Structure 1
Amino acid sequence: MQVSRHTLLLSLLLFAAVGLIGGTLLGHTLAGLSLGVIVWSLRQIRQFNRLTEWLHREDGSEPPEADGAWGDLFDELARMQKRGSAREQSLRGIISRFQQSSAALTDAIVIIDNQNNLEWWNRAADRLLGLKATSDRGKPLMNLLRDPRFVRYFRKGHYQEPLDLPSPVKAELQLQYQITKFGQGDRLLVARDITRLMRLEHTRQDFVANASHELRTPLTVIRGYLETFLDQELPKPLQRALGQMQQQAQRMESLVTDLLLLSRLEASHHISDEHPILIHPLIRQIHQDAEALASGRGHRFVLDIDPEYDLLGQRNELQSAFSNLVFNAVRYTPDNGIITLRWWTDALGGHFAVTDNGIGIEPMHIPRLTERFYRIDESRSSASGGTGLGLAIVKHVLVRHDAHLDIHSTRGKGSTFTCHFPPDMVVPVRDAE
């Protein structure tokens, strides 16, 4: 382009020189010079009009013939146009292949812009979510997916965990929603049909629940007879054996109770109704039960409770979750330990924490603590009387309350288990009352 500019300048000088010479010969020097410049300008305007006309065609035709700087410009623009056309064709091919591959997916894929409007989706979204390309493009997502649980999940903006809900089109289909942020506030929504997995999970849950329920009757009979025998005068070896049998029967009964509770919690990922809970009396009741459990061990309990706010949820479930955390602290803290129960609120929501100065937990065990029957030390856990289901129950209770559990621990220094509840689950004390 530098050469073209030089050529254009030379042509201007040439026309000006010809006009100057002609004007001088005719005795009108200035007029000749002006005429030369005007002729050169008209020629440039003509070439510019030809260029504009060619560019407006946009039909891929060859550029007009020209010499000098304009010829170089036409040729360069033609080459740029061909390169741009090739890139456009390549991008169209990529987009076409992406759309074809997306259409072949069985999962619904929806692109949502930063205004929460529907921008694009594949065919599976028509089938699973009921979206219609003829009428729904550009509409707000909330106008089409109106389930309050989905609306709450979408607006919170925390998409680490997926959301399981029935399909808005077919109630018998169970969908798992996963949202990912990208670009400037855009979102990618993926909805997967997990109906078969849910049926298998329900079958497993029903089996565990039914088996646990069937075990309760024989265990009750066994415990009844053992209590009767232990009330009699028996030889010490027999009395010791019957005492151990009674202890194990009680442990089995606790296991059955926890299995039934866990099966009920797993039946739904969301509580059916939210009730105001007086959190202060609840924590004090758990504190009294923990003192009874720790009787004779010299534990000191510290309570730090925010008096201004309570919690929404299911009282029995939260009492079970909080009790499991506190009782674990009692069991795994050596004698004369310090256990702190704390409830506080901030901009992130409500928080209940149990801190102890007990034996602590090694980092490699923390990710698996909420798994069923996972034990760090089998012998120590059995001796403590735990069922191995306590933290699994805590996890499911918190999931049902849109909350989560954080665990921080240092080996030999103690542990802190914290339940984090979202802000919309926290209410002022006067509202709860």
Structure 2
Amino acid sequence: MQLSRHALITSLVALAAAGLLIGMLFDHAMVGLNIGLLIWGFKHIRQFNRLFDWLQREDGSEPPEASGAWGELFDEMSRMQKRSRAREQYLRGIISRFQQSSAALSDAIVIIDSHNNLEWWNRAADRLLGLKATSDRGKPLINLLRDPRFVRYFRKGHYQEPLELPSPVNSDLQLQYQLTKFGEADLLLVARDITRIVRLEHTRQDFVANASHELRTPLTVIRGYLETFLDQELPRPLQRGLEQMQQQARRMEGLVTDLLLLSRLEASQHISDEHPILIQDLIRRIHEDAEALATGRGHRFELAIDTDYDLLGQAGELQSAFSNLVFNAVRYTPDNGTITLRWQVDHKGGHFSVSDDGIGIEAMHIPRLTERFYRIDESRSSASGGTGLGLAIVKHVLVRHYAHISIDSTPGKGSTFTCHFPPDMVVPVRGVEAS
């Protein structure tokens, strides 16, 4: 291209000089110069028109024949055009393979643009979500998926956990929605059919619930007879054995109660409705129960309660969750230890925490603490009378309230269990009517 520029300048100078010389012969030098420049301009306008017409055709034909600078320009434009077509064909191939592969997936995949409008989706989205390519493209997502639970999940902007809801076009199908941010402000929605998994989970839950329910009657009978026998004068070895049987029967009753509660919590993912809760009164009642449980152990209780805010939710479930955390602190904090109950609110939401200066927990155990029946120390848990289901119950209660738990613990220094609630679950005290 450097040679082309030199050639253009050379041709301009040559025609101008020729026109000037011819004009001088006729004693009109400037007229000859202007004629030479006009001839040079018309020549290049003609070549430009040929180039423009060729580019307009876009049919892949060869460029016009030309010599000099225009010939080099035509050849370079032809090479650029071929490279562009090859690149375009390559990208079209990638898009085509992506569309073919995504169309073969059984999961619905939807791309949502930065304005929350539908941009593209695969065939499974037609079947699972009822989207129609002829009418729904470019429409807002929440105008088509109108379930209030999905709208709330979508608007929150926190997509770490998936959402499970029935299909909007077939209530027999259970879908798991997962949103992922990508690019500037785009979203990828994946909806997976988990109907079979949900049915298996329901079968498991029904079995646990039925088995637990059936165990209550024989346990009640056993405990009744044990209490009757222990009211009598018995030989010391026999009395000791019956007392141990009674202790284990009580423990089994507690386990059955927790299993039934856990099964009920698992029956639905979120609470059906929300009620204002006087959380200050709730925490104080739990504090009184904890003091009764810690009688004779010298525990010191400290309360730090934000009196300006209360919480929305189900009072019975939250009392069960908070009680589990507080009673665990009582069980596993040595005598004369300190237990602190806090309720505080900031821009991230409401936070209820239970801190102790007990034995602490090693980091390797923390990720598994909310699993059913997980025990750090089997002998210690048995001695405390725990069922191994307390933190699992806490986790499920919090999930149903759109909340989560965090655990901070250092061996030998104590532990802090914190329940984090989103801002829209927190209300000012003045907005709560006393019941």
Shorter chain as denominator, the TM-score bin is over 0.9
Shift in Å at residue 54 of structure 1? 1.3
Q: Equivalents in 2 of 1:265, 1:369: separation in Å? A: 18
Which residue identity does 1:300 align to in structure 2? R
Which residue identity does 2:389 align to in structure 1? L
Name the residue aligned to 1:122.
122
Which residue identity does 1:205 align to in structure 2? Q
Task: Encode CA deviations 1:61-115: one digit per residue, 9 max, x unaligned.
Answer: 1111111111111110010001100111111111111111111100000000011
Q: Equivalents in 2 of 1:303, 1:138: separation in Å? A: 53
The alignment status of 1:370 with 2:394, answered yes or no, reads no
Stretches of structure 2 that go unaligned for 5 or more consecutive residues are none
Q: Equivalents in 2 of 1:8, 1:361: separation in Å? A: 82
Q: What are the residue-to-residue correspondences of 1:206-221 with 2, within 5 Å?
A: 206-221=206-221
Name the residue aligned to 1:252.
252
Which residue identity does 1:154 align to in structure 2? F
Name the residue aligned to 2:314.
314
Which residue identity does 1:220 align to in structure 2? T
Task: Encode CA deviations 1:272-299: one digit per residue, 9 max, x unaligned.
Answer: 1111111011000000010011111111
The alignment of Structure 1 onto Structure 2 pairs a total of residues equal to: 433
The alignment status of 1:184 with 2:194, answered yes or no, reads no
Q: Equivalents in 1 of 2:407, 2:285: separation in Å? A: 23
The alignment status of 1:14 with 2:14, answered yes or no, reads yes
Which stretch of structure 1 is more off in the superposition, 392-401 or 345-354? 345-354
Name the residue aligned to 1:298.
298
Q: What are the residue-to-residue correspondences of 1:390-409 with 2, within 5 Å?
A: 390-409=390-409
Shift in Å at residue 327 of structure 1? 0.5
Aligned-partner SS, 2:191? strand
Aligned-partner SS, 1:60? coil
Q: What are the residue-to-residue correspondences of 1:234-383 with 2, within 5 Å?
A: 234-383=234-383
Name the residue aligned to 2:412.
412
Task: Encode CA deviations 1:97-138: one digit per residue, 9 max, x unaligned.
Answer: 111111110000000001110000000000000000010000
Which stretch of structure 1 is more off in the superposition, 156-165 or 26-35? 26-35
The alignment status of 1:3 with 2:11, answered yes or no, reads no
Name the residue aligned to 1:229.
229
Aligned-partner SS, 2:427? strand
Shift in Å at residue 430 of structure 1? 2.2
Q: Equivalents in 2 of 1:404, 1:5: separation in Å? A: 69
Q: Equivalents in 2 of 1:383, 1:4: separation in Å? A: 93
Name the residue aligned to 1:88.
88
Q: Equivalents in 1 of 2:215, 2:6: separation in Å? A: 98
Shift in Å at residue 28 of structure 1? 2.0
Root-mean-square deviation over aligned CA pairs: 0.8
Q: Percent identity?
A: 81
Name the residue aligned to 2:98.
98
The alignment status of 1:145 with 2:155, answered yes or no, reads no
Shift in Å at residue 231 of structure 1? 1.0
Q: Equivalents in 2 of 1:96, 1:374: separation in Å? A: 49
Runs of 4+ in 1 over 3 A off after TM superposition: none
Q: Equivalents in 2 of 1:210, 1:369: separation in Å? A: 26
Name the residue aligned to 1:53.
53
Name the residue aligned to 2:32.
32
Name the residue aligned to 2:161.
161
Q: Equivalents in 2 of 1:432, 1:396: separation in Å? A: 25
Q: Equivalents in 1 of 2:389, 2:376: separation in Å? A: 13
Question: So what's the TM-score if we normalise by structure 1?
Answer: 0.99
Name the residue aligned to 1:78.
78
Q: Equivalents in 2 of 1:417, 1:61: separation in Å? A: 73
Shift in Å at residue 27 of structure 1? 2.3
Which residue identity does 1:257 align to in structure 2? T
The alignment status of 1:111 with 2:84, answered yes or no, reads no
Name the residue aligned to 1:384.
384
Aligned-partner SS, 1:65? coil
Name the residue aligned to 2:427.
427
Which residue identity does 2:105 align to in structure 1? L
Task: Encode CA deviations 1:16-41: one digit per residue, 9 max, x unaligned.
Answer: 12112222222222222221111111
Aligned-partner SS, 1:295? coil
Name the residue aligned to 1:201.
201
Task: Encode CA deviations 1:133-178: one digit per residue, 9 max, x unaligned.
Answer: 0100000101100000000000111110000000000001000000
Which stretch of structure 1 is more off in the superposition, 43-52 or 18-27? 18-27
Name the residue aligned to 1:170.
170
Shift in Å at residue 370 of structure 1? 0.3
Q: Equivalents in 2 of 1:315, 1:237: separation in Å? A: 46
Which residue identity does 1:95 align to in structure 2? I
Q: Equivalents in 2 of 1:21, 1:343: separation in Å? A: 99
Question: So what's the TM-score if we normalise by structure 2?
Answer: 0.98
Shift in Å at residue 51 of structure 1? 1.2
Q: Equivalents in 2 of 1:8, 1:362: separation in Å? A: 80
Shift in Å at residue 251 of structure 1? 0.4
Which residue identity does 2:344 align to in structure 1? W
Q: Equivalents in 2 of 1:184, 1:298: separation in Å? A: 57
Stretches of structure 1 that go unaligned for 5 or more consecutive residues are none
Which residue identity does 2:209 align to in structure 1? A
Aligned-partner SS, 1:252? helix
Task: Encode CA deviations 1:171-215: one digit per residue, 9 max, x unaligned.
Answer: 010000000000111000000000000000000000000000000
